[in-house]
Amino acid sequence: MVARIHDPAQRARIRDAIERDTSWGNEWLQVEGPASFLLTSTTNPDLQPLLGKSLAEIAAAQHKDPIDCALDLIAADPALNIAMFVMSEPDVALALKQPGVSIVNDNSGTSIDGILGRDHPHPRAYGTFPHILRKYVREDHLLTLPDAIRKFTALPAQTMHLADRGVLKAGMWADIVIFDPDKIADLATYANPNQYSVGMNYVLVNGTPVIANGKMPQALPGKVLRGPGYVPPLPD
């Protein structure tokens, strides 16, 4: 891929596809412009100062055409990640209200300190569920609190056929959260995503606190959940 980006003929073909081709999931044509792409993580130390900046800002600073800038960034680090501003808020609200829609976070949160805190992830890494509770329950009244909790817990457990968790009931695994519905809030932003949410008092995993009085004990009670397709590795 990097070799093709550096080849002038191939690069011209890539540019033409980006600018005009609608036969594939061409995200360039789905957004308002290069300001809709935000650089969030990179394995290239030379690109670290660019984290949190939009493609439009980077291209302007480097005096480059935005597509050329994007291709140069990819060539410099094929493993870089971005956040893309393409979703419509009315669409999000409509989807959230559907009774069969549950909520998931596909961005891994890490410690805000140390080497893992150097990344600039999407703010959902630290704020997905508090964001729903703050914005769509407490402020916008789009969901009731029981609706939101069901979409976080019982509904996804049911969808994944996890019969031993997802509700508070005798005989279930004791995965429990205790929070203040009037105070829980996400603090992570696109400009400063590495911020823990507030208002979460206790989190119990398998009956053991991993957050207690808002602080994190060094307990590791979690277990990997294996699906029906799991095949154990062969012994050495």
pLDDT tens-digit profile of 200-228?
999 999 999 999 998 888 899 998 888 88
Question: Which pLDDT band holds residue 231 (cuts at 50, 70, 90)?
Answer: very high
Pick from 84, 88, 70: which is nearest to 40 by CA? 84
For residue 143, count other CB atoms closer than 10 A to its CB.
Answer: 21
pTM metric for this prediction: 0.80
Question: Which pLDDT band holds residue 110 (cuts at 50, 70, 90)?
Answer: confident
Q: Give pLDDT, residue 190.
A: 85
Q: What SS3 class is residue 58?
A: helix
Q: Give pLDDT, residue 215.
A: 87
CA distance 110 to 126: 8
In this predicted model, what pLDDT tens digit does every residue of 11-66 receive, in sequence order?
999 999 999 999 988 999 999 999 999 998 888 999 999 998 999 999 999 999 99
Question: Which pLDDT band holds residue 71 (cuts at 50, 70, 90)?
Answer: very high
The neighbouring-strand residues paired with 177 are: 203
Q: In the predicted model, is pLDDT for residue 109 greater than 80? A: no
Domain residue ranges of the chain, discontinuous segments joined by +: 2-84, 89-212
CA distance 168 to 199: 21
Cβ-proximal residues to 183 (8 Å cutoff; 6+ apart), any chain = 198, 199
- The pairs formed by 1-10 with CB atoms below 8 angstroms and a separation of 24 or more are 1/74, 1/78, 2/74, 2/75, 2/78, 5/71, 5/72, 5/74, 5/75, 6/75
